[in-house]
Amino acid sequence: MTSLVNQYFTLKLMKARHLLGFLVFILVLGCHKPIQYTELNGYAMGTTYSIKLISNTHTFKNIDPIQLAVDSIFTEIDNQMSTYKSESEISKFNRLNKSETIKISNGFSQVLLRSIYWSEKTKGAFDVSVLPSVILWRNGKSDRKYSEQWEPPTDYESVLEMVKVNFEKIQLMENILIKADVGQMIDLNAIAKGWGVDQLFDYIHDTGVTNFMVEIGGEVRTRGKNNKGSFWKIGIDKPMVNTVPGEQIHSVVSVSNQAMATSGNYRNFNQFENKQYSHIIDPRTGRPTQSNIASVTVIAETCMDADALATALNVMDVDEGTSLVESLDGIEAFWILKENDQLKSVASSGMPLLN
C-alpha cells in the first residue's frame, strides 16, 4: 500500500518555495504499524525546513537541545553566506574595494572551494561569481521608458557586468579571500542550502540517530529508512506554470543514504513582449538560459554537490550534462524537458526512479 505521509510547505511560506521547482514529500510502503517519529519544522534560509527522526525504541521526549543546535547551525550559515544579511561575511566581501581582503570562516571557505571544484568540472556552467549578471537581469534595463515595466538589459549592459564574472579570478588563500577586481561579487545561493542540509545531517548523525531525513526548501538528505521500514521516497514536481509545490507529482525517487536536489526555471522568470527570460543566468554568456529544460534533479552523496550540480545542469545542454553525469561516480540525474507544451524526461543510467 502506498500512502502520502507529509508535505513540507505552508501557504504563508509558498512564495519562498517557488524557486525550488519541486516539493519534497515522503511516501511510505507497507501495511504494518509505523514506528513513532519526531519531526522538527521551521523557517530558515529564506524557506522552510523539516527534520524527521525515526526511532525503533523511543520517541524524542526532549527535543529542545536538538532545536537549539539546529537554530545555531542556521545562524552560523546566515552570518557567513547570506547575501540578504548586510553584515554577513559574504556581504562584507562584496562591498570590498579591489585588492582588499577579508578573513572568512572555515564553512564559507569549504563551500567556496567546492564551488570552484564544480566550476572546473562544468567548465564554467556553475560559477558563484555570476552575481553581477544576476543583479543586472533581475533589475532589467536601467533607462527603460516605463520604470514599472521590466525590460531586458541592453547587450552593452550585459557585457559590462559579464567582465566581472569569472570563477578563475576568485582568490582564496587559506581563509583569506581577496577582492580580485572592481565589481567582483560572490553569491552562494546555488550551493549554500545544500551545505546547510549537510551540516544538519552531520549533527543529527553525531547524536546517534540512525534513521532520519533532513530537508531545507526541497533539498534533501536521508539516512537509513523511514518509519515504515522502507527506503525514503521523494517526489519531484511536474514543472507546470501556475501550480504550487506538491500539487502535481511527475516522478518518485527512492533515496537511501543519499542526497537529492532539484533546480528549475519554470516558476520564476521575467517576461517582455511575449518572451520569457529565465532567472537562471548562464555564467558563460551573462544572459538567461534558453533551452527546453524545465527542471533537473540530482542525486549525490552530499546535498552540497547535488545542489550545485542541479544548477549547472540547467545551464548545460542535455547531451553535455548527461555525458558529465555518466562520468561521475555516485552521481545520478533526471531531466524534465518541455517540448511543444508536452513533457518528456531523460534519466542517467542509474537514476533510482520508482515510476
| Strand ranges across the sheet with 171-173 | 101-103, 176-178, 171-173
pLDDT at 246: 63
Residues 259 and 220 sit within 8 Å (Cβ to Cβ): yes
- Rounded to 5°, angle at Cα 191 from 189 and 193: 75
* CA–CA gap between residue 168 and residue 335 (Å, rounded): 28
pLDDT at 15: 35
- In SS3 terms, 113-147 reads as HHHHHHHHHCCCCCCCCCHHHHHHHHHCCCCCCCC
**259 in helix, strand or coil?**
strand
Residues 340 and 289 sit within 8 Å (Cβ to Cβ): no
Give the pLDDT of the chain (355 residues) as one tens digit per residue: 323 233 333 333 333 343 333 334 444 333 456 667 789 999 999 899 999 998 765 566 778 899 999 999 999 999 999 999 999 999 999 999 999 999 999 999 999 999 999 999 999 999 999 999 999 999 999 888 888 889 999 999 999 999 999 999 999 999 999 999 999 999 999 999 999 999 999 999 998 889 999 999 889 999 999 888 889 999 898 877 666 666 678 889 999 899 999 998 766 778 888 888 888 999 999 999 988 999 999 999 999 999 999 999 999 999 999 999 999 999 999 999 988 878 999 999 999 888 7
Q: For 79-189, which CATH class? A: mainly alpha
Residues 48 and 217 sit within 8 Å (Cβ to Cβ): yes
Residues 311 and 190 sit within 8 Å (Cβ to Cβ): yes
Tracing cell 537514476 back to the chain, one arrives at 351
Question: Which residues make beta-bridge pairs with 40?
Answer: 51
Note the pTM of the prediction, 2 decimals.
0.87
* CA–CA gap between residue 203 and residue 9 (Å, rounded): 23
* CA–CA gap between residue 346 and residue 336 (Å, rounded): 7
* CA–CA gap between residue 99 and residue 284 (Å, rounded): 24
